[in-house]
Amino acid sequence: MSFTHFGSGRNSTQGKTMKKDTSILNSAEEMEILDKSNTKGSIEQFAQQAQHIWQQAQSLRISGEYKQVKNIVVGGMGGSALGTHVIQTVFKDEIKLPITIVPDYDLPAFVNEQTLFVASSYSGTTEETLASTKQALERGAKVTGITSGGELAKLLKANNAPALVFTPTYNPSGQPRMALGYSIFGQIALLSQLGVLNVTNKEVDAVLAAIADVHLRAGLAVAEKNNPAKLLAYQFSNRIPIITVAEHLEGVAHVFANQLNENAKTYSEFRVVPEINHHLLEGLQFPKNRDEVLFFFAVLSKLYQPSNRKRMKLTQEILQNNHIEYQTLELSGKTKLEQAFELLTFGAYVTYYLAMLHHLDPAPIPVVDWFKNKLKD
């Protein structure tokens, strides 16, 4: 990874007034006190999650009729749907069947017996996913699923649907958004068995190596001054982070923004080139304090097509002209899948460190929990 910071206007000095608050990032003991749910453990065991579910999936047997489908629908909410967003964009050039994510109770009208329906619920208790799974079964879709148990596991078993029911040994935080090794590689394994994808053990090993490299560069033991994830968290503090990517990294940017919301309790957005070049660039003049609140994080890749690499460069020029601070990260992975996991791991660390700067335990989501409880009243 190559990490470069570009400051402009008054924002380039804003961080100096916050320096006293960053000492926690150099104190593993202080971070451990805050991190009561061990989110750190989930990040550090990301590779083990992937290995665990990949190995378990090898023993899963799926009947041939599941290969005779014409479309794929994934029913999942929040963190349980994040893996599909990653797969959609990383494998866009390989998956020849349309994939639709349904973050809702009801399925689209086209779902029928020629649909592969994948129910994705980490807990197995997500009411929207349970409802859509029952609809898929009623319509005769080819149903499968990924879950750690709950009502979903019972429903799939009762209907003799092949499923990956895993024990989340390597996700001590218990949060679905921190179990993406299970989610992504579980779905990759399912789709590979069905012939929709062709991911080899060699490719899996390369991904695991990419994750390990990020741990070495961005892990808790690496001092702030040498740690790009800690430095970026420091820059994100008291800002609105805008994650900017292109092509195969769109799904990962979605994850990054989601984890900023839930882990760091921070408003964030993700934006995609070339789409933003058709409208967002005109929206950088106002409000007048935009340079105080906006912070763009541009992720670069040699795997982007040349036109998008040029667009990223020109977008950075426009940010400078508007006195908006930004940071770039050039990924080093050799394949799209390696780069996706490189950024997933890096982003998880950034959101963790930002939570530490906010003096928060990253795992609890009290507002979401309050909302769910109110729905039950």
The pLDDT value given to residue 135: 98
Domain termination site, one of 182, 199, 216: 199
Tell whether 362 is covered by a domain: no
Residue 376 placed within a domain? no
- Measured CA to CA, the distance from residue 148 to residue 154 in angstroms comes to 11
The region that residue 9 occupies, defined by phi over 0 for left and psi between -120 and 50 for alpha, beta otherwise, is: left
- Same domain, yes or no: 165 and 48: yes
For residues 68-77, average pLDDT: 96
- Sort 9 into a burial class: Cβ within 10 Å, 0-12 / 13-18 / 19+: middle
CA distance 77 to 49: 20
Say if residue 146 is in the same domain as residue 163.
Answer: yes
Question: Could you tell me if 195 and 220 lie in one domain?
Answer: no
| 115-121 sheet: strands from edge to edge | 99-102, 71-75, 115-121, 142-147, 163-165
pLDDT at position 234 is 94
- CA 129, chain centre distance (Å): 19
State the Cα angle at 129 between 135 and 355, rounded to 5°. 165
**How would you list the strands of the sheet with 269-273, edge to edge?**
2-6, 326-330, 294-300, 240-246, 269-273
User: 179 and 97 share a domain?
Assistant: yes
Q: Averaged over 272-293, what is the pLDDT?
A: 94
Residue 211 pLDDT exceeds 70: yes
Residue 85 has pLDDT above 80, yes or no: yes
Both 65 and 183 in one domain: the answer is yes
Using pLDDT thresholds of 50, 70 and 90, give the confidence band for residue 238: very high
Together in a domain, 210 and 352: yes
Q: How confident is the model at residue 18 (pLDDT cuts 50, 70, 90)?
A: very low
The pTM score is 0.93
**Is 369 part of a structural domain of the chain?**
no
**Same-domain status, 82 and 123:** yes
How many domains does the chain divide into? 2
Domain membership flag for residue 377:
no
Q: Are residues 122 and 168 in the same domain?
A: yes
pLDDT in tens, 297-352: 999 999 999 999 999 999 999 999 999 999 999 999 999 999 999 999 999 999 99
Phi, psi of 54 (to 5 degrees): -65, -45
Q: Across the strands, what pairs with 147?
A: 121, 165
- % of the chain at pLDDT higher than 90: 90
Measured at the CA of 353, the angle between CA 274 and CA 234, to 5 degrees, comes to 70
Is 373 domain-assigned? no
- pLDDT value for 20: 45
Alpha-carbon span 333 to 343, nearest angstrom = 10
Residues 24, 154, single domain; the answer is: no
For residue 371, is it within any domain?
no
Q: Report the mean per-residue pLDDT for the chain.
A: 93
pLDDT bucket at 229, cuts 50 / 70 / 90 = very high
Q: Domain boundary residue among 178, 199, 220?
A: 199
Between CA 135 and CA 86 the distance in angstroms is 25
| Residue count (the chain) | 377
Q: How far is CA 60 from CA 56, 189, 286, 323, 374, in A?
A: 7, 9, 54, 54, 39
User: Does residue 263 surpass a pLDDT of 70?
Assistant: yes
Domain coverage including residue 338: 2-34+204-357
Band of residue 176 on the pLDDT scale cut at 50, 70, 90 = very high
Question: Are residues 69 and 138 both part of a single domain?
Answer: yes
Q: Give the pLDDT confidence of 19-66 residue by residue, as tens digits.
A: 545 579 999 999 999 999 999 999 999 999 999 999 999 999 899 999
CATH code of 29's domain: 3.40.50.10490
Beta strand 2-6 pairing with 326-330: antiparallel
The reply to whether 19 and 150 lie within a common domain is: no
Residue 257 — φ and ψ, nearest 5°?
Answer: -65, -40
Q: Is the pLDDT of residue 200 over 90?
A: yes
- Evaluate whether residue 312 is within a structural domain: yes
Residue 62 has a CB neighbour count (10 Å cut-off) of 16
Residue 171 shares a structural domain with residue 217? no
Last residue of a domain, one of 171, 199, 227: 199
Q: Is residue 337, in this structure, part of any structural domain at all?
A: yes
Calculate the alpha carbon distances from 344 to 50, 79, 253, 335, 351 in Å. Answer: 13, 13, 8, 14, 11
> Does the structure show a pLDDT above 80 at 12?
no
Pick the closest to residue 31 from 349, 364, 263, 361 (CA basis): 361
Only one residue has tokens 């409880």, namely 373
Which tokens belong to 286?
């106002």
